[in-house]
Amino acid sequence: EKEPPLESVELPSSEVVSVGDSFGIASASDELSRLRQQVLRHRFNPTQLRKYKRTDFRRQVLLDRLAEAKRYSRLTRARIAVPFGVQPRDAPVRVDTTMSHTNLDVVRLAIKQLGWRECPSGGGDPCEICWNGLSYAENPGGEDSCVNRFPGIGDLLHKVNLSRALETMRRLFPEEFGFYPDTWFLPHQLAEFTQYSEAAAAEAAKSGQPAPCYIVKPDAGAQGGGIYLIRSAADYSRQQSGRPLSHIVQTYLDSPLLLDGYKFDLRLYVLLLEADPTPRVFICRDGLARFCTQQYAAPNADNLGANLMHLTNYSINKRSRAFVHGNAETGSKRTFSSVLRQLAASMGDSCDVLALRRSIERLCVKTTLAVLPELLVNMRQRGATVGQSPRCFQILGFDVLILSDLTPVLLEVNSCPSLRLDYEVELIPGVSEYFISPVDVQVKQALVRDSLATVERWMLQRTDQKATKPAAHSSRSEEKIRQNQTAPSNDLELDETENMETDADPGTDTNNENDLEQDMETEQPDQGPIVESEPADSACTIGCMTEIFPGSGRHFDLQRLRVLEGLADLFLTACGGRRGCVKLGATAFRGLARKCSLQRVCGLSMADANILYIDLQRRWEYLSSDPTGGICFQAFAEGFFKMAENFRMGGGQSRRDSASMLDKVSSLLNHCCDCMGLGEKQPQQSLQQKQKINHQQQLPTLVSKSDSNRKRKVGKLAAEIREEVLILPEIV
Ligand code: ADP
């Protein structure tokens, strides 16, 4: 039977097979119909081949399928044009939840509410989104898929690293970075801390006050573990549980805002989208407030060890008999919005809730911008193209303490905030049971759902060539969210089968999840009304997620804080742009000094450069497992600031002493960027460009860049496929 010419072959979309440049056809013969069945049964994408080692049997299975498909194509001598790897616009977004771990419940709920599809076994085509419950692992979906982790961000947010990044920014913008307590790293800075604490104690004694208090936290600690209060450096003990540990010590903020006499802190959720060329920061409208279970009193000799009074950690307080579970308004864990309502009710006009929200937002943006340069270093060293974020997003948990004068203070940032919806109660010693926590459900399900919808909109923006206005990208998910918000959402239960790929792993144990979902049916729905009314602005808001940077321009003035991104470029260039290299070696440092004529402009001879390098290495070795490997970005920044202090324009006069650190650093950075051929990367210039893009609220540059990139990738991929297997002439 003569086959119809290629152009006239039309298959219903259900019969479309995605194989490389794709092909498929109908035919009459038995052999052909057998093959056709085979081909249509297995959705297959050649990018999967790259997931498996050559020795992996799964690779062979895929190759066999591909061979069948090719044979089918050869016999039918026809092809159809299916755009490579492109999902139809109205197809549900698929989420790979294989690695979701403890996030599975909340992610599943979000998928259900958005009408998306869960791929619990991850098999088949790469999903559009991969949800990873732990730290960053390579994106299993490859470059076309989006993963909920940025590479290396977990390390950057460890207590010591975060403090360092904030300290670096504080030196440039002292008036903007006062929201973090004074911090020392012990035992490394024990001498400085001892000196400071003695001077502070003497000062306090003069005015008849008790010596100030300090809080000691293990660097790698979490959930309040190993934390204690001290009054002097002499009380510090490096040994804990018989092991020497590194710590940070901070001034203890002894006048927190109290509610009903109890200390509390806030857990607020921030979504970071994209980092390069411009980070987009969203904040979740609601969050959690975690209360102590013992009434607060300023620290004194008797209560220094009272953790239930001074530490707000859930993991510590849940063990107390006084802990009240499950009430969003009066319990020991409440919603942020309910706390705002209570504050407004109890403090009246003296509590400007809107101003408090704004200052918290600014704190979140500034903190994000502080870690951004090092995040860019991490991403580019993993192969990300300049100006082109890999497809990552991440929900970060900001812990914030409100002081009695309503000033928010940052305590820490959690890169993997808990997204659990349940809590554990020990019924009798050794026997625990899990219950749904309505407060967690209320906050976290909206958080994850709306974050995913925000990510979907971003993915559309990145891929849609015709996109000119973000407003045009209202996705189906956003519609769903709107519906969810208007209709009471008592559909918290998950229909196991409804949103799953049919190839679900039969071995997956979903019993516990079923129980959990059934329990949830009885729980209360989504967010309640928020107390204060916000003035309308043009911020991009999807459900409970509002863009706070660069967004509406609400915090637009913070653009000027992005100076150190230029330094990150310089650091990377000095490192030689080698993939995987996150440290600057001595030779590269000397090379930078030579190329930038630092002897002429900063008076830094080669011998001085060597001494400076060794000093930096020594000062930062406590942060590095392999100090011989070179210095990290933060150490480089410290050295750069030192050099900037002596910078003389044109080798002439040293910059006026009155010039601020920011001026000095910017001037030296401009000079070095020129010398290293990074002219267009000068901070001022790139800042202006960025401002222009952000101000217009448009993403045309991003879109066109990503498109051309995608085309390049597709071309590259096609070439690889041709290499891997023999593709027939009629297919190619
Ligand atoms: P962890 O990561 O172990 O939870 P945190 O830095 O969050 O450590 O501190 C634990 C708790 O200690 C906080 O929730 C807060 O209640 C209290 N805390 C931490 N730092 C300070 C501080 N500088 N002043 C007052 N209280 C603090």
Question: pLDDT digits over 77-119, tens only?
Answer: 545 333 333 444 567 888 988 888 889 999 999 999 999 989 8
How far apart CA 376 and CA 726 sit, in angstroms, is 39
Which stretch of 24-33, 128-137, 493-502 has the lowest confidence by average pLDDT? Answer: 493-502
Mean pLDDT of 216-235: 88
Instruction: Categorize the per-residue pLDDT at 629 as very low, low, confident or very high, splitting at 50, 70 and 90.
Output: confident
Q: Which whole number is the average pLDDT over 657-677?
A: 88
Of the given ranges (38-52, 351-365, 371-385, 648-662), which has the lowest mean pLDDT? Answer: 38-52
227 lines ligand 1 (CB under 6 A): yes
Ligand 1 touching residue 308 (CB < 6 A): no
pLDDT at position 647, please?
86
pLDDT at 199 over 80: yes
187 lines ligand 1 (CB under 6 A): no
Bridge partners, residue 268, by sequence: 398
CATH code of domain 182-252: 3.30.1490.20
- The residue to mutate among 163, 180, 227, having the most atoms of ligand 1 within 8 angstroms of its beta carbon, is 227
pLDDT of residue 613: 94
* Res 443 pLDDT > 90: yes
**Residue 550: pLDDT over 60:** yes
Residue 143 alpha carbon to ligand 1 centre in Å: 38
Domain boundaries, the chain: 18-79, 96-153, 182-252, 256-556, 563-680, 686-732
What's residue 428's pLDDT?
83
Residue-level pLDDT at 633: 92
Q: Quick one: which atom of ligand 1 is closest to the CA of 256? A: 25
DSSP for 555-585, written as a single string: TGGGGGGTTHHHHHHHHHHHHTS-TT--SB-
pLDDT mean across residues, the chain: 76
Q: Indicate whether residue 317 lines ligand 1 (CB < 6 A).
A: no
Per-residue pLDDT tens digits for 61-82? 777 777 776 666 666 654 533 3
Percent of the chain with pLDDT over 90: 40
pTM: 0.76
Question: What is the mean predicted confidence (pLDDT) over 617-637?
Answer: 79
Q: CA neighbours within 13 Å on the CB side: how many for 51?
A: 22
User: What size, in residues, is the chain?
Assistant: 732
> Residue 250 CA: which ligand 1 atom is closest?
23
Residue 224 beta carbon below 6 angstroms from any ligand 1 atom: yes
Cβ of 222 below 6 Å from ligand 1: yes
pLDDT above 70 (res 506): no
**Pocket residue to mutate for ligand 1, from 179, 215, 223, 254, most atoms within 8 A of Cβ:** 215
- Decide whether 182-252 matches 563-680 in CATH topology: no
The region, left, alpha or beta by phi > 0 then psi within -120 to 50, assigned to residue 384 is beta
pLDDT of res. 35: 64
Whether the pLDDT of residue 271 is over 60: the answer is yes
Mean per-residue pLDDT, 138-165: 82
Check if the beta carbon of residue 109 is closer than 8 Å to that of residue 452: no
pLDDT of residue 186: 87
Ligand 1 lined by 344 (C-beta under 6 Å): no
The reply to whether ligand 1 has any atom less than 6 angstroms from the CB of 475 is no
For ligand 1, is residue 215 a contact (CB within 6 Å)? yes
Of 452 and 481, the one with more pLDDT: 452
Decide: 415 in ligand 1 pocket, CB within 6 A: no
What distance in angstroms lies between residue 224's CA and the mean position of ligand 1's atoms? 7
pLDDT reading at 497 higher than 60 = no
Of residues 652 and 673, more confidence is placed in 673
User: With bands split at pLDDT 50, 70 and 90, how would you rate the model's confidence at 730?
Assistant: very low
Residue 405, pLDDT > 50, answer yes
Our CA angle for 313, 317, 320, nearest 5°, is 175
Please identify, by atom number, the ligand 1 atom nearest to the C-alpha of residue 292. 16
pLDDT surpasses 60 at 707: no
Going by pLDDT thresholds of 50, 70 and 90, the confidence category of residue 473 is: very low
Amino acid at 690: K
- 193, 313, 409, 414: which to mutate for ligand 1, most atoms within 8 A of CB? 313
Q: Is the minimum distance from the CB of 253 to ligand 1 under 6 angstroms?
A: yes
**Mean pLDDT score, 27-47:** 58
Q: Is the pLDDT of residue 340 over 90?
A: yes
Nearest atom within ligand 1 for CA of residue 315: 4
**Cα gap 637→171, rounded to integer Å:** 11
pLDDT at 425: 83
SS3 56: coil
More confident residue, 539 or 132: 132
Name which residue sits closest to atom 20 of ligand 1, judged by CA. Answer: 411
Residue 291 has pLDDT above 90, yes or no: yes
CATH fold group of domain 563-680: Recoverin; domain 1 (1.10.238)
Q: How far apart are CA 653 and CA 647, in angstroms?
A: 8
Range name among 115-129, 274-288, 304-318, 693-707 with the lowest pLDDT average: 693-707
- pLDDT band at residue 650 under the 50/70/90 scheme: low
Which tokens in the block code for residue 593? Answer: 């000094």
Q: Are strands 545-549 and 280-284 parallel, antiparallel or unpaired?
A: antiparallel
Mean pLDDT of 387-402: 87
Residue 623 has a pLDDT of 66
Say if ligand 1 is within 6 A of residue 266 CB: no
Residue 656 reports pLDDT greater than 70: no
The listed range with the strongest mean pLDDT (344-348, 477-481, 610-614) is 610-614
* Atom 10, ligand 1: residue with shortest CA distance: 224
Instruction: For residue 35, give the nearest of 77, 81, 75, 79 by alpha carbon.
Output: 75
Of residues 588 and 715, more confidently modeled: 588
H or E segment and range at residue 541: strand 541-542
pLDDT at position 47 is 63
The whole-angstrom separation of Cα 96 and Cα 290 is 32
Residue 509: per-residue pLDDT: 39
Per-residue pLDDT band for 304 (boundaries 50, 70, 90) equals very high
The C-alpha R_g of the chain, in whole angstroms, comes to: 28
Residue 482 pLDDT: 63
Q: Tokens at residue 319, please?
A: 């063990």
Task: Return the amino acid letter for 292.
Answer: C
Lowest mean pLDDT among 254-258, 299-303, 424-428, 484-488: 484-488
Query: How does pLDDT run across 351-385, given as a tens digit for each residue?
Result: 899 999 999 999 999 999 999 999 998 887 776 66
Is residue 642's pLDDT more than 80?
yes
- Residue 491 pLDDT more than 50? no
- 197 vs 244 pLDDT, higher one: 197
- The rounded Å distance from CA 256 to ligand 1 centre is 12
| pLDDT at residue 690 is higher than 50 | no
Statement: residue 415 has pLDDT above 50 = yes
Structure-model confidence comparison of residues 230 and 494, the more confident one: 230
- Cα dihedral angle (612, 618, 623, 629), rounded to 10 degrees? 80
β pairing state of 393-402 and 262-273: antiparallel
Distance from the alpha carbon of residue 208 to the mean position of ligand 1, in angstroms: 27
Beta carbons of 420 and 79 less than 8 angstroms apart? no
Residue tagged 């194509």 (tokens) = 73
pLDDT at 683: 42
pLDDT at 454 over 70: yes
Terminal C-alpha separation, the chain = 24
Assess whether the C-beta atom of 629 lies below 6 angstroms from ligand 1: no
pLDDT > 70: percent of the chain: 65
| pLDDT value for 507 | 37
pLDDT tops 70 at residue 324 = yes
**Residue bearing the bigger pLDDT, 643 or 700:** 643
- Tell whether the model's pLDDT for residue 692 goes beyond 50: no
Mean pLDDT lowest among 182-196, 469-483, 645-659: 469-483
664 burial class (0-12, 13-18, 19+ CB within 10 angstroms)?
buried
Instruction: Tell the residue nearest (CA) to atom 11 of ligand 1.
Output: 311
> Looking at residue 726, what is its pLDDT?
29
CA 291 to chain centre: 26
- DSSP secondary structure letter of residue 713: H
